[in-house]
Amino acid sequence: MNTKVPLQKVTLRDAFTLPDPGEEIPEEWHDSLDMNILHSFMPGDYVGFLDPSVQGEHYVYAVVLEDLGLQQSGAGHVHMYRIDVGGGQQLEVSTHDLYHFRQCAPASDSSKALVLMQSPPGKAAAAGLSGGDWYQQPLSEVKEKVDACLAEVWSLLEEERKKAIRRLYLCYHPDKNLGQEVLANEIFKYLKEKIEEMENKGLKGGSSWGPKSSGSSSGPKSSSRNSWNFSNYWSEWDQQAHRHQQRRQEFTRQRQSGRGGSNFTYNFWSFYRSGTKGMEEARRWLRQAEYDLRAAANEVANDSTEWLLYKTYRAVEKALTAVEYKQGGHFDSNLSVPMLAAKVATHGQELTAIRDQVSKLRQHGMDDKKTQYPKYHSPPTIPNEAFRTCKEKDVLLLGQEILDTVQRWLGQGLKM
> What does residue 111 show for φ and ψ, rounded to 5 degrees?
-85, -10
Cβ contact 394:364 at 8 Å: yes
- At residue 113, the pLDDT reads 28
Strands of the sheet with 90-94, listed across from one edge: 90-94, 76-84, 59-73, 46-50, 98-99
Q: Which CATH number fits domain 13-106+122-213+222-250: 3.40.50.720, 3.50.50.60, 4.10.80.400, 2.30.30.140?
A: 2.30.30.140
Of 34-43, 186-195, 198-207, 340-349, give the lowest mean pLDDT range.
Answer: 198-207
- At residue 110, the pLDDT reads 33
- At residue 109, the pLDDT reads 35
Each domain of the chain, given as residue ranges in start order, spans 13-106+122-213+222-250, 275-410
Interval 274-283 mean pLDDT: 75
Interval 264-285 mean pLDDT: 80
Into which CATH architecture does domain 275-410 fall?
A: Up-down Bundle (1.20)
Is the pTM higher than 0.85? The answer reads no
Residues sharing a CB contact under 8 Å with residue 25, sequence separation 6 or more, in sequence order: 19, 33, 48, 59, 60, 61
Do the domains 275-410 and 13-106+122-213+222-250 match in fold?
no
- At residue 27, the pLDDT reads 93
Confidence of residue 347 (pLDDT cuts 50, 70, 90): confident
Q: Which residue has the higher pLDDT, 156 or 231?
A: 156
Confidence of residue 7 (pLDDT cuts 50, 70, 90): very low
Confidence of residue 225 (pLDDT cuts 50, 70, 90): very low
